[in-house]
Amino acid sequence: MEKDFKGLADQYKTALLDDVLPFWERHAIDWEQGGYFTCLDRAGKVYDTDKFIWLQNRQVWLFSMLCNQFEKRENWLNIAANGANFLAKHGRDADGNWYFALDRAGNPLVQPYNIFSDCFAAMAFSKYALASGEDWAKDVALQAYNNVLRRKDNPKGHYNKTYPGTRPLKSLAVPMILANLSLEMEWLLPSDQLEDILSATVQEVMGAFLDRDRGLMYENVAPDGSHVDCFEGRLINPGHGIEAMWFIMDIANRHNDTATIHQAVDVVLNILNFAWDAEYGGLYYFMDAEGHPPHQLEWDQKLWWVHLESLVALAMGYRLTGREACWEWYQKLHDYAWSHFADPEYGEWFGYLDRRGEVLLNLKGGKWKGCFHVPRALYLCWQQFEALEQKSC
Amino acid sequence: MEKDFKGLADQYKTALLDDVLPFWERHAIDWEQGGYFTCLDRAGKVYDTDKFIWLQNRQVWLFSMLCNQFEKRENWLNIAANGANFLAKHGRDADGNWYFALDRAGNPLVQPYNIFSDCFAAMAFSKYALASGEDWAKDVALQAYNNVLRRKDNPKGHYNKTYPGTRPLKSLAVPMILANLSLEMEWLLPSDQLEDILSATVQEVMGAFLDRDRGLMYENVAPDGSHVDCFEGRLINPGHGIEAMWFIMDIANRHNDTATIHQAVDVVLNILNFAWDAEYGGLYYFMDAEGHPPHQLEWDQKLWWVHLESLVALAMGYRLTGREACWEWYQKLHDYAWSHFADPEYGEWFGYLDRRGEVLLNLKGGKWKGCFHVPRALYLCWQQFEALEQKSC
């Protein structure tokens, strides 16, 4: 592959603006009852109307973000508003905690059993407030943000099944989501609060969760950062580790911290080496650090978001460091992702392939795949290559 | 395949007594700290020492059951005692509810978040009390049984994430486990209580969960038995439906209820037709009744217990009805199961194959596969074919 940054920027921009966004605009908006449909078959036909809060909020975020960062299109703002109004009305319980799922009309189906719904709500309403200028949306964002801060030390509350004390573990997801979220809330937070959170996150992630010997990111470690020999303690989630690394690069870049950027790139390359399926191509979904059988039966499947986050991490890593290893891996991932996940026939990307790269679920959206990872990664890759193109001019 | 019932009975008996039981006897017993190891690799080497209560109790049950129903071998009773003593000491919280998982030493890891741990405890300690003559084991069994009765209308207690009222569903698992459990407790229960539960179960399962038009067993239905168009409401779990049908045949046979036996056989055949993978063979793990993508990513995998329960259902269906369709399906399942799951090289059976029938997890036991479905099914198939052989003499 030639280093045709302009061509790549165009490829991502076209895919985003002419394929992926129109797919969701056409099929996913519930203009009648509010919010979005996310269970869409290959062609975009709705096969289930339940509304999953993560995905609802992520779609509000996506369209608002594009209004803020790319172009304030009226139909995008209307789409964001269609979700935001529905969610503000139906998304929370009496204490302001965000449910996990609603039915089509907005009646609650699944209780607020973790803080990720609140996270995505804070991100969504922060960006929507910025895009729409609606003051009430700011309040919704800040309330959700405070829920996360309040609940972060016990994210599942009374739904937590872990017996306290026997085997304490901390999870990579918590600092990662906090950093990401705080960046999304930047314009609403005092700047010293944000910088404190970002610095603490870099230290926690690169200190406690990164195994320095192996260069791998662990999902769960003991409170002192040591490894625990159990299923959760041995778990490697390659896509999550790689996604975490581009967040870290992004933060380190704000701080002009070149050493941390290079360290994050090293980790991305290590994870790719560890998780690449030499036989069939693609990255595994879950792995056991010691090579034991993972208990996740879907461990060898190839998931869209894992590959898209890797494209972002490699494009960003290459932009920030110019390291050839990033470019080499980028090409490998690009070839795999564009030839396996993208669906030129019906639009958008498949989400779930089996180990061999064949379509496992013939869908474009479901309970966990919505309008988020594909357009976000297309947007971010477009930005990386546009910057690379400008640098090289 | 010839109808060589003696040959089949011998095949199952030999596999059980000379292969499968010795595998667990050799590798799975933690004589040092009590209980069993269930995370065993292909060759039987322990790769994780956590103790999962379902599997611990099921292994106590299995060895006790063999002592009661086949032969009271001293080493089997010792193995059962090694689990029962460990579990009686460590398995329950202060209120007598059964944890989900312990560490090797017996410290609790996962809270008692559902009633199935209690179910398997009741089954295990009932059979162990019978095998050992220990009165205290009877008390443990009855306490666990009463936990199940007390908690059956809200099996997950405060861990239940479903918002009450919006979309009430009842689950096939609850009547099935209650019937199975009550049969296992037979010698400890007043006989009218048992018969009431069994009759109610047959009525509930064949009335509410069986779709009469399609002849399929649904996992979740509305309280009035109608279908609900959502992921859970469309869920078909072929292995579970088929396992349920041999329980029903067993109960109907006690009541000399030939019509219900035939109806259960019809359902088994319908499920097999629906769930058989025409391209690669084997039965799917999860399906959507309407053909939509299921949200379970492991939906197309081939699991050991699904196929073993089908062998039991078909052998029993054939013994009770003599219907040729049972025999034809039996042969198809026999060929698939014995050639894909059994591992003559290292002993025991693989648990998890991919859609194509290749080994997905190179193990003999883990968090969910222990010493239960393989030996139970081998024992039950042996019994069916021995009875068929005797009938034909």
For residues A15 and A51, state if they share a domain. no
Chain B within 8 Å of A277 (Cβ-Cβ)?
A: no
The two three-digit tokens of residue B378, written as one number: 């081998």
pLDDT per position as a tens digit, A45-103: 999 999 999 999 999 999 999 999 999 999 999 999 999 999 999 999 999 999 999 99
Last residue of a domain, one of A161, A196, A231: A161
- What is the C-alpha separation between B86 and B164, in angstroms, rounded? 38
- What is the C-alpha separation between B277 and B326, in angstroms, rounded? 18
Could you report the predicted ipTM of this complex, rounded to two decimals? 0.96
Q: How far is A112 from chain B (nearest CA, A)?
A: 8
| Yes or no, beta carbons of B363 and A41 under 8 Å apart | no
Q: How far is B48 from chain A (nearest CA, A)?
A: 7
Pairing of strands A108-110, A101-102: antiparallel
Pairing of strands B51-52, B101-102: antiparallel
Q: How far is A178 from chain B (nearest CA, A)?
A: 24
Chain A within 8 Å of B108 (Cβ-Cβ)?
A: yes
For residues A304 and A367, state if they share a domain. yes
For residues B41 and B10, state if they share a domain. no
- What is the C-alpha separation between B79 and B131, in angstroms, rounded? 12
Instruction: For residue B43, give the amino acid letter.
Output: A
Q: Find out whether A216 and A267 touch, Cβ atoms under 8 Å.
A: yes
- What is the C-alpha separation between A69 and A365, in angstroms, rounded? 25
For residues B335 and B197, state if they share a domain. yes
Chain B interface mutation, best of A103, A158, A163, highest count of B Cβ atoms under 10 Å: A163
Closest by CA to B152, choosing from B168, B127, B171, B125, is B171
Q: How far is A282 from chain B (nearest CA, A)?
A: 17
Closest by CA to B347, choosing from B360, B365, B335, B330, is B365
Last residue of a domain, one of B161, B183, B208: B161
Last residue of a domain, one of B110, B135, B161: B161
Chain B interface mutation, best of A40, A42, A48, highest count of B Cβ atoms under 10 Å: A48
| Yes or no, beta carbons of A298 and B298 under 8 Å apart | yes
Which chain B residues are Cβ-neighbours of A48 within 8 angstroms? 229-231, 292
- What is the C-alpha separation between B85 and B256, in angstroms, rounded? 39
Pairing of strands B287-288, B235-236: antiparallel
3-class DSSP state for residue B113?
coil
3-class DSSP state for residue B276?
strand
Which chain B residues are Cβ-neighbours of A300 within 8 angstroms? 354, 360
For residues A222 and A371, state if they share a domain. yes
For residues B5 and B61, state if they share a domain. no
For residues A24 and A36, state if they share a domain. no
- Percent over 70 (pLDDT), chain A: 100
Predicted local confidence at residue A154, as pLDDT: 86
| Yes or no, beta carbons of B292 and A166 under 8 Å apart | no
Instruction: For residue A117, give the amino acid letter.
Output: S
pLDDT per position as a tens digit, A123-170: 999 999 999 999 999 999 999 999 999 998 888 989 999 999 999 999
Range of the domain at A240: 1-28+169-393
Instruction: Tally the domains of chain B.
Output: 2
Chain B within 8 Å of A291 (Cβ-Cβ)?
A: no
| Yes or no, beta carbons of B352 and A107 under 8 Å apart | no
Counted residue by residue, chain B has a size of 393
pLDDT at B1 over 90: no
- CATH code of the domain containing A85: 1.50.10.20
| DSSP of A134-202 | -HHHHHHHHHHHHHHHHHTTSTTGGG--BPTTTS--EETHHHHHHHHHHHHTGGGS-HHHHHHHHHHHH
Chain B within 8 Å of A297 (Cβ-Cβ)?
A: yes
| Yes or no, beta carbons of B163 and A361 under 8 Å apart | no
For residues A19 and A125, state if they share a domain. no
- What is the C-alpha separation between B205 and B175, in angstroms, rounded? 7
pLDDT per position as a tens digit, B341-364: 999 999 999 999 999 999 999 999
- What is the C-alpha separation between A276 and A300, in angstroms, rounded? 10
Q: Which of A162, A290, A297 sits opposite B352 (nearest CB)?
A: A297
Q: Can you say how many angstroms the Cα of residue A357 is from the centroid of all Cα atoms in its chain? A: 22
**pTM score, whole prediction:** 0.97
For residues B24 and B37, state if they share a domain. no
Chain A within 8 Å of B100 (Cβ-Cβ)?
A: yes
For residues B294 and B173, state if they share a domain. yes
Which chain A residues are Cβ-neighbours of B108 within 8 angstroms? 163, 166
For residues A184 and A310, state if they share a domain. yes
Which chain A residues are Cβ-neighbours of B290 within 8 angstroms? 47
pLDDT per position as a tens digit, A203-222: 999 999 999 999 999 999 99
| Yes or no, beta carbons of B159 and A163 under 8 Å apart | no
For residues A191 and A85, state if they share a domain. no
String of b and e for A81-90 (b: at least 16 CB within 10 Å)?
Answer: bbbbbbbbeb
Which chain B residues are Cβ-neighbours of A354 within 8 angstroms? 300, 354-355
What is the enclosing helix (H) or strand (E) of B81?
A: helix B74-90
- CATH code of the domain containing B323: 1.50.10.10
pLDDT at A191 over 90: no
Tokens 């998931």, residue located: A303
